[in-house]
A = this chain, B = another copy of it.
Amino acid sequence: MERDSPAAAYYEMHAYLCKALAHPVRLLIIDQLRDGPQAVGDLADRMGLSQSNLSQHLGILRAKRLVSHRREGSNVYYQIRDPRLIRAFDLLREVLRDVLREDDWLVGSFQASTPAPLPSLGRL
């Protein structure tokens, strides 16, 4: 494949989109928006995140056109743009479940290399 072919550009953009999924907080946000729009404040409360940090993550999802937002009064409501995003999310989660079932992976390489903790939430 040529280095700067249109195909290569497509993979770059695809990766650019996927980077939005490559962070636990943003996955949590997507999962929270699964059943409809949510106001930023409510999300922050429920997720136990700082306002600034949540807003930054929402900004990333917004820049990549994965969520849309509208003002309503003094609040801003975010929602998922495309339901296929949820389907992709769920597919990857299924893959993850099977990976975890196959071998004892959790106690192996993962925990060693990722010390980052997270606020809790939600249904699995």
Report the interface size class on chain A.
35 or more
A120/B18 in contact, CB under 8 A: no
Chain A 1-36 residues near chain B, CB threshold 8 A: 1-19, 21-28, 31
Give A residues with C-beta under 8 Å from B. 1-19, 21-28, 31, 46-48, 63-66, 81-82, 84-85, 87-88, 91-96, 98-100, 102-103, 105-106, 109-111, 114, 116-124
Known pairs A1-B46, A3-B119, A17-B92. 16 more at Cβ < 8 A? A4-B124, A8-B119, A10-B96, A11-B24, A12-B118, A12-B119, A14-B24, A14-B96, A15-B22, A16-B114, A18-B22, A19-B119, A21-B22, A63-B116, A63-B117, A84-B91
